[in-house]
Amino acid sequence: MSNLLYDSQRPGSQEISWCPGCGDFAILEVLKKSLENLNKTPQQTAIISGIGQAGKLPHYIHSNGFHTLHGRALPIATGVKGANPELTVVAVGGDGDMYAEGGNHFLHMLRRNPDITVLVHNNQIYGLTKGQGSPTTLEGMKTTTQPRGVTEEPINAMAIAIAQNASFVARSFIGHKELTQDLIEQAVEHKGLAVVEIFQPCVSFNKLNTYAWYKEHCRIIEDHDPSDRAAALALALDTERYPLGILYRSNDKKTYEEQQAAYQRNNTPLWQRKVDQEALRQLLDSKK
Ligand SMILES: Cc1ncc(C[n+]2csc(CCOP(=O)(O)OP(=O)(O)O)c2C)c(N)n1
């Protein structure tokens, strides 16, 4: 048992139910360390997820949290940040959660640039529902629902994010814990949307993309200027040896909160506004 603030037992918290060897354990550990290193208290942090194995994470960390519907972490995270901009908001989810069920939200998130961090636990499979092909499953891989092999091309979310001028785009593999921690810390510190895709083996349902496979098929980026969008896109398109590190960063984008502030009549964050109890009661009564 470590002394990490984020480890303390929360009333009603659940036992961890990931498979032994799952990459989610290390992502959880690294996320806790990153937040502590940045001196973010659990009270200052909100972890938002959708559904899936990765989606269970808010139950296992002592902070504010919201386990929402499949694919819906991103709009909820945007709402949480809007209601209380002082919170450090981190959305977590699997590749299915973020790129399939939540794919539409993912695209619009890239345009909006809310000041949140998105961690995509990319195990290239639907884990919770026992091994169906996900948007990132490699072509030809046999799965429980594609017994003759997946026929579609995998989605390249990093390339999409760079093409859409997202403000911080990074990729890691959880086998490189120090790199992952460094990227998460930089992502949380970044002002604007920070997407970190983290390769993580699913030891039960993905027998192709193992720890050894990722070690062989990934490389840590050296000598790359993340403000060079064309170079970033070229890196993202390399699917022979996936580049790990910060692929792209554009610091001059306005955050969603800043864009909205220009149009608001009342810029007091929602959580600080007084609730008119009488008006609320009348509204509720009118619906009876
Ligand atoms: C709208 C909707 N569609 C499908 C499901 C069933 N479902 C729950 S989790 C899941 C897959 C999760 O896979 P992923 O997001 O990659 O996360 P992992 O479990 O691999 O961490 C699916 C298909 C659901 N709950 N809601």
Mean pLDDT of 161-167: 97
The beta-carbon contacts of 216-223 under 8 Å, at least 24 apart in sequence, are: 217/241, 217/242, 218/173, 218/242, 218/243, 218/244, 219/243, 219/244, 220/176, 220/179, 220/244, 220/245, 221/245, 221/246, 221/247
> 112-138 pLDDT, tens per residue?
999 999 999 999 999 999 999 999 999
Mean pLDDT of 62-86: 96
Query: Tell me, what's the pLDDT at 132?
Result: 98
User: Hey, where are the domains in the chain?
Assistant: 15-286
ipTM beyond cut 0.90: yes
> 45-54 pLDDT, tens per residue?
999 999 999 9
Token pair in block for residue 40: 């973010």
To test the ligand 1 pocket, which listed residue (70, 136, 206) has its Cβ within 8 A of the most ligand atoms? 70
Model confidence at 254: pLDDT above 50? yes
Cα 258 to ligand 1 centre (Å) = 33
Token pair in block for residue 121: 């636990």
Query: Tell me, what's the pLDDT at 3?
Result: 56
> 3-51 pLDDT, tens per residue?
578 887 777 777 899 999 999 999 999 999 999 999 999 999 999 999 9
Model confidence at 280: pLDDT above 50? yes
Band of pLDDT at residue 1, cut at 50, 70 and 90: very low
Coil vs helix vs strand at 170 = strand
Pocket around ligand 1: residues whose beta carbon is below 6 Å from it?
A: 51-54, 70, 93-97, 101, 121, 123, 125-129, 134
- Topology at the third CATH level for domain 15-286: Rossmann fold (3.40.50)
Cα 89 to ligand 1 centre (Å) = 22
Coil vs helix vs strand at 31 = helix
Which atom of ligand 1 lies at the shortest distance from residue 52's CA? Answer: 19
Which atom of ligand 1 lies at the shortest distance from residue 70's CA? Answer: 26
Query: Tell me, what's the pLDDT at 252?
Result: 85
